Chains A and B, each alone.
Chain A
């Protein structure tokens, strides 16, 4: 996977589009959500409890599952925000999945985007799975500049 900062950046930069600016928090949550749902249980259960949950949490990189998760999370939002929350979280998580699918894994891919309809694992192989570390020095100033420009242009910088 690209690191979470790369995913955060993808969501944050998309939310700089004027019509989406008010949805920044939701879009960036969606952009990091698949890894939160996958890596956190892996670390907690595997490393601390010794329980193998790897195959169970792999499903959280499937758009179908993320659709349901976004729907469930949107129910935690104020009624007037629910549709925006659902669509924004789902949009962010789709961007996450697309970014992950663009990687080159060593060996076979680990992502099943068609689950539960198919267990086929897919990757497009555009960049190495650690490439996000190399572009971090570019992403950090990019996000900072986007934040500063937004703050200059608006009272609501986030």
Chain B
């Protein structure tokens, strides 16, 4: 059973309508509550950018071995397996600070602009022929 199938089963597992996979999987979750050292999370059951729609807030899950030094609201990738629909045995976790992603996007935009600059210095587009051709003769070609 691959990870995609496992993830598709997750919604059913959380709502008690289906079995929980015993396979070790990695899922994204948001820390819902931390009380007396006990951590509960909401798992992300959908992909996309609208974060308010992505996490299954109706079904908080208790994290076993939940000594996660993270604050409420933090989003983290959790690796482990379900013991039941309400319990997740944590094996490892990873979180990413918001600035890391912002910097990565910024650096990526620089790479994109550099690519576009080289492209537009090298080629021109003719709508008549509907094709790109070189702007100048390249002495090194």
Say yes or no for B94: interface residue by CB 8 A criterion.
yes
User: Which chain B residues border A143 with CB–CB below 8 Å?
Assistant: 114
Query: A76: which B residues are within 8 A, CB to CB?
Result: 130-132
A126 within 8 A of B: no
**14 A-B pairs (CB sep. < 8 Å):** A8-B111, A28-B119, A31-B115, A32-B111, A35-B108, A46-B49, A48-B49, A77-B133, A79-B131, A119-B2, A132-B107, A133-B100, A133-B103, A155-B139
B122 interface residue, CB < 8 Å from A? yes
Q: Is the CB of A81 within 8 A of B100?
A: no
Contact yes or no, A133 B104, CB < 8 A: yes
User: In the complex, what residue of chain B is closest to A18 when comparing beta carbons?
Assistant: B140
Cβ of A158 and Cβ of B122 under 8 Å apart?
A: yes
User: CB-CB < 8 A to B3: which residues of A?
Assistant: 107-108
Chain B residues with CB under 8 A of A18:
140
- Per-residue CB contact flags for chain B residues 124-140 toward chain A (1 = under 8 Å, else 0) read 00000111111000111
Q: Residues of B within 8 Å of A, CB-based: how many?
A: 42
Q: Is residue A141 contacting chain B, with contact meaning CB distance below 8 A? A: no
Between B49, B50, B140, the greatest number of chain A beta carbons within 10 A of the residue's beta carbon is seen for B140
Contact with B along A1-29 (1 / 0, CB 8 A): 00111111100100000100111110011
Chain B contact residues: helix, strand, loop or mixed = mixed
Give per-residue flags for B101-120: 1 if the beta carbon is below 8 A from chain A beta carbons, else 0.
00110011111101100110
**Is B50 a contact of A106 with CB atoms below 8 Å?**
no
CA gap between A132 and B3 in the complex, in Å: 27
B47 lies within 8 A of A25 (CB)? no
Q: How far is the CA of A107 from the CA of B9 in the complex (A)?
A: 18
- Contact check, A81 vs B134: say whether CB atoms are below 8 A apart: yes
Give the interface SS of chain A, mostly helix, strand, loop or mixed. Answer: helix
* Chain A residues within 8 Å of B115, by CB: 4, 8, 28-29, 31-32
Chain A contacts of B119 at CB under 8 A? 25, 28-29
Check A4 against B108 for contact (C-beta < 8 Å): yes
Q: How large is the interface on A (under 10, 10 to 19, 20 to 34, 35 or more residues)?
A: 35 or more
* Inter-chain contact B141/A106, CB cutoff 8 Å: no
Min CB gap B52→A, angstroms: 11
Contact (Cβ within 8 A) A156 B134 = no
Residues in B with CB closer than 8 Å to A21 are 138, 140-141
Q: A5 to B139, Cβ gap below 8 A? A: no
Task: Report whether B94 and A25 are in contact in the complex, using a CB–CB cutoff of 8 Å.
Answer: no
User: Which residues of chain A from 89 to 116 have a CB within 8 Å of any chain B CB?
Assistant: 106-108
- A5 proximity list for chain B (CB < 8 A): 107-108, 110-111, 114
With A3-B111, A25-B123, A130-B96 known to touch, is A158 a contact of B47 (CB < 8 Å)? no
Contacts of A106 in B (CB 8 A): 26, 77, 79, 92, 94
